[in-house]
Structure 1
Amino acid sequence: MSSVSVLVEIKKKQSEAFAMHRAALHSEVESTHQAESLVAKLTGLGLEVLGDYAPVPMFSKKARQDSGAGLAAFALHAATETSESADVSAESVVIACEIDRAKVDELKTKPNVKVWPNSRLTLHSNRSESTCPNCREKMDAEQSDAWRSVFDQARSAGSRVDCRPYRPAASQEEIRDLLGVRRIWQDGFRGQNIIVGILDEGVNGDEYPVVGGFSRPNATQPGSASIRSHGSMCAADILVAAPAAKIYDYPFLGIPDSGGALAMMQAVLNQRQLDGTPQITNNSYGFVGRPSKDRFPDHEVWDIDHPYNRKVAEVVESGCSCFFSAGNCGENCPDGRCHASGIGPEKSIHAANSLQEVITVAAVNSRHERIGYSSQGPGGFASQKPDLSGYSHFFGNFGPGRPAGGSKADFDSGTSAACPVVAGVGALLLNAFRDLTPDELKAVLLEGATELGPPGWDRDTGFGVVNAAVSYTILNRAPVGRATSRSRR
């Protein structure tokens, strides 16, 4: 019989959830002990705990929003630079397991148990070479339509597709001029004292300022990735606007599924409980198709209560702004890996990338043309997605004279590049205005965006392209107040 990987959520209160999770991270023996204790009563199902994952605590809405003793208190801690925040009790715990496919329905009938998909991911480098060339063939056929990919350089579907925005790449200095960051730098703000967490395949710490991140025995260590990694590109693009910002490296794509992403978001929460950092996360990945809603109603794409979607919301509740790339499945020239079920308007922005709480970023080039592969709204959860656009197709990490090298045809691209550009602007504004909440940061980014289409939001570019100078001027002229109509959707 074939087995399937699932996330098993067990409703059971767990006191001092952060201390328990850290203990599990530091010891695979402890991690396995905690997980097996939680599933001990689920006998006769052949349930096998996956040792690569520590059990992940999930928090109630009350615990998330309590500014005195919940996740929301982490933001206050960051602002006051006090000792670590109090631990928080969890209402349930998620364990990554494998189970015989024939036993899944029986597992779903157990009391206080919810079974969620542990969706497989696939990783592609900027060179469009897969580290697992046979992953698609090995994948469960029923879930192949939910195949994930980082949003790196799109491959055209053919000459019939108008990809006119594939202009020659711009320089990093041109992008800085377009963002208007130099005026902010003159006032002494360059992103210092702000840490951005990059959830990706890893960052090269020799070239980029990696000061921490996810670390576990026998796992990829922060800062150890190749200079040609997708995460290194994201680091370079954050530093376009915020050259003094620091980086936390969360290389979850070494475990390419929802359980890995969930674990990295919890690692972000762990750090925020300790010292209120990182203040921002960059997430340049997502789904490239939608599975059948009738057959997979609990999938991340369809169910906002999937643990990963909830965990992202928890991170934002803690005071950390989460930036997500919109995707590369726009109708004009979608990435060749996009499935028909996930191409074009209303189909291509979904799952966590479409949550109301996050900032979803589409891609334009230096001439303010929408790049044809940039995914289009409305979003799957919040309708007005993307929120805004960022610049892509420029020499940041890749290209002549850049850290990773390459020819003029080798440049930072995809909504994967646009997203960290906007995240870098967020870091710059937070450096100048440290008390901004995620809602307020989102509001001022949207208010300051340069409109590229009709007034207001549009499905291709959101509220326009990011403009650091205008957002900074808005903050200087009046108190953020806070959230404008553009952020309430």
Structure 2
Amino acid sequence: MPRCIVLIRSHEPLQEGWRTRSFGPSRPLLDDRVRVAGVRFDETYHPVQVWRRIGGGDDPPAASGFNYGTVGPAATYAVRVDADDEDAVERLRRDRSAEVVGVFADPTVSPFPSPYCSDSPVGATQDVARRLGVRALHRAKLTGRGVHVAVVDTGIDGSRIPVAGGWAPTPGYVPGSSAPNHGTMVAYDVRIAAPDAQLFDYALLKSQAGTWAAFLSDAIAAFADLVERVNAAPGRWVVNNSWGLFDRASDAPIGSPENYSANPDHPFNQVTGALVAAGADVFFAAGNCGADCPDGRCGAGDTGSGASIHGANSHPEVVSVAAVTVTDRRLGYSSQGPGALYSRKPDLAGFSHFAGSGIYPADAGTSAASPVAVGVAAALRQAFATDRLAPAQLKGLLQRTARDVNGDGWDYDLGYGVIDAAAAVKALGLKPQGRKRASTTV
């Protein structure tokens, strides 16, 4: 585990590093109290405040290890280190136990974009809008107006799709300045159901130059920033994540305290829960490692049922999204449950593999299915802020109103079924208002 995430007890220099988004204020403290031989701090990564779920709630079924109460004051800060070997990591853990709360794996995560079964699209944007029931949303004047959607991805081309702000793991990135690629496709797909939502460009997958990839430590920083944004302007935030872990070889073994993929104590899994607790509706693509047509990047033993939905993509509080065509046919690359953190995954399915953004021959993968579902959530969130409809309630609504195309109530392929905006509008008792809106344009 040469690169890892270290959680350190709170001290003022770490707090200052987080406030200023700089490593410098923490350097003397880390050198004096934490550094050991064979371990080097990554000074490009500033300390990140890590919120953890504490006390006062019941764990969801099969989610042992999570503590679902309120979000308490952060007691830890994450820093990133490079270690010579496992002996150096053990020295850090053993000799600095007064300061070091935990040491965790920092695997690489990547987007879920590609149509590995076929490049040929099935249907187009208008078919997705029709099958979703977007007309029912727009007749109720629900277009996502006033709702903030964070697209955590490779970056958005703001000349095509306007953005209201954003974040990046490296300084100097201007939100909306990305070339048109995966992140722009995802943003387009959000706007099928929510054309008036405000998009925020969280360009996480720019952290490794020349690749669409990030270290999980960068995702911790992104979500910590989002927790602050949601706390500052609560009520209507939806977060899309069309990325995840393809190959567990870059993770610590399951059962190890450093593990990410199946460990609820990993700081990214904790900060994911904290983001939901702050009031965000958090969606993750289930993954592209389904048994029938897995992405070539999926690891050995990381495909098919029970082996392809890992880490935060399987978090019990997020909405995990599988993929179907507009004909309700499951796409063979769509990852299948049980999930690693919570067995009943995925939660539902969204449409994918259609002619949409024009970035690729097809907007494909669970990468497209997730933002299609996010658009529905954003449109509904316009009507109900989180003080009236909590994230868990909106998630439950989308599950209950999904179309059970397999006829078995819930299954490891499509969860509760295909997301159905019209059914959700009806369940909420929302009525048409005035003239109906024209069909969606994005």
**TM-score bucket (shorter structure):** 0.7 to 0.9
CA RMSD of aligned residues (A): 2.7
Give the SS at the match of 1:342: coil
Q: Which residue, out of 112, 124, 145, partners 1:151?
A: 112
Alpha-carbon offset, residue 343 of structure 1: 0.4
Percent identical among aligned pairs is 33
1:333-344 equivalences under 5 Å are 333-344=293-304
1:250-329 equivalences under 5 Å are 250-255=202-207, 256-276=214-234, 279-291=237-249, 293=253, 296-329=256-289
Task: Give the counterpart letter for 1:451 in structure 2.
Answer: D
1:92 aligns with 2:90: no
CA contact under 8 A between 1:330 and 1:372: conserved in structure 2?
yes
Q: Which residue, out of 196, 199, 213, partners 1:244?
A: 196
Alpha-carbon offset, residue 347 of structure 1: 0.4
Matches of 1:219 and 1:329 in 2, distance apart? 34
Change (3 A) 1:44 1:353: closer
Residue in 1 that maps onto 2:40: 48
Q: Which residue, out of 189, 198, 203, partners 2:142?
A: 189
Task: Give the counterpart letter for 1:111 in structure 2.
Answer: S
Residue in 2 that maps onto 1:482: none
Q: Which runs of 5 or more structure 2 residues have no equivalent in the other structure?
A: 58-67, 208-213, 432-442
> What does the per-residue CA deviation read over 1:139-166, in whole Å, with 9 as the maximum and x for residues that have no partner?
xxxxxxxxx431011424xxxxxx7xx7
CA contact under 8 A between 1:220 and 1:254: conserved in structure 2?
no
Q: Which range moved further: 216-225 or 253-262?
A: 216-225
Give the SS at the match of 2:221: helix
Matches of 1:420 and 1:64 in 2, distance apart? 33
Q: Which residue, out of 442, 459, 472, partners 2:395?
A: 442
> What does the per-residue CA deviation read over 1:199-226, in whole Å, with 9 as the maximum and x for residues that have no partner?
1111111111210111677342211111
Alpha-carbon offset, residue 374 of structure 1: 0.3
1:366 aligns with 2:326: yes
> What does the per-residue CA deviation read over 1:80-113, in whole Å, with 9 as the maximum and x for residues that have no partner?
xxxxxxxx74211111112221411111213141
Residue in 2 that maps onto 1:401: none
Residue in 2 that maps onto 1:108: 93
Give the SS at the match of 1:314: helix
Matches of 1:473 and 1:201 in 2, distance apart? 35
Change (3 A) 1:15 1:453: farther
Change (3 A) 1:247 1:337: same
Residue in 1 that maps onto 2:366: 415
CA contact under 8 A between 1:35 and 1:55: conserved in structure 2?
no
1:421-436 equivalences under 5 Å are 421-434=372-385, 435-436=388-389
> What does the per-residue CA deviation read over 1:169-224, in whole Å, with 9 as the maximum and x for residues that have no partner?
31111110001111221222111000100111111111112101116773422111
User: What TM-score do the two structures reach when normalised by structure 1?
Assistant: 0.78
1:175 aligns with 2:128: yes
Give the SS at the match of 2:2: strand
Residue in 1 that maps onto 2:211: none
Matches of 2:17 and 2:56 in 1, distance apart? 18
Give the SS at the match of 1:40: helix
Task: Give the counterpart letter for 1:236 in structure 2.
Answer: Y
Q: Which range moved further: 37-46 or 410-419?
A: 37-46
Q: Which runs of 5 or more structure 1 residues have no equivalent in the other structure?
A: 66-70, 75-87, 122-147, 157-162, 399-403, 479-489
Change (3 A) 1:427 1:43: closer
Residue in 2 that maps onto 1:22: 19
Matches of 1:321 and 1:64 in 2, distance apart? 21
CA contact under 8 A between 1:449 and 1:470: conserved in structure 2?
yes
CA contact under 8 A between 1:14 and 1:92: conserved in structure 2?
no
1:469-480 equivalences under 5 Å are 469-476=422-429
If asked which structure has higher relative contact order (CA below 8 Å, sep 6+), I would say 2
Task: Give the counterpart letter for 2:330 in structure 1.
Answer: R
Task: Give the counterpart letter for 2:179 in structure 1.
Answer: S
CA contact under 8 A between 2:150 and 2:239: conserved in structure 1?
yes
Change (3 A) 1:181 1:286: same
Give the SS at the match of 2:164: strand
Residue in 2 that maps onto 1:348: 308
Matches of 1:55 and 1:103 in 2, distance apart? 21
> What does the per-residue CA deviation read over 1:329-387, in whole Å, with 9 as the maximum and x for residues that have no partner?
01011111111221000000111100101000000001100000100001111111000
CA contact under 8 A between 1:390 and 1:465: conserved in structure 2?
yes
Q: Which residue, out of 213, 221, 224, partners 2:166?
A: 213
Task: Give the counterpart letter for 1:51 in structure 2.
Answer: E
Residue in 2 that maps onto 1:11: 9
Alpha-carbon offset, residue 9 of structure 1: 0.7
> What does the per-residue CA deviation read over 1:298-347, in whole Å, with 9 as the maximum and x for residues that have no partner?
22112111011101111001010110000000101111111122100000
Task: Give the counterpart letter for 2:285 in structure 1.
Answer: S
Q: Which residue, out of 406, 416, 425, partners 1:463?
A: 416
CA contact under 8 A between 1:248 and 1:278: conserved in structure 2?
no
1:115-126 equivalences under 5 Å are 115-121=102-108
Alpha-carbon offset, residue 277 of structure 1: 6.9
Give the SS at the match of 1:375: coil
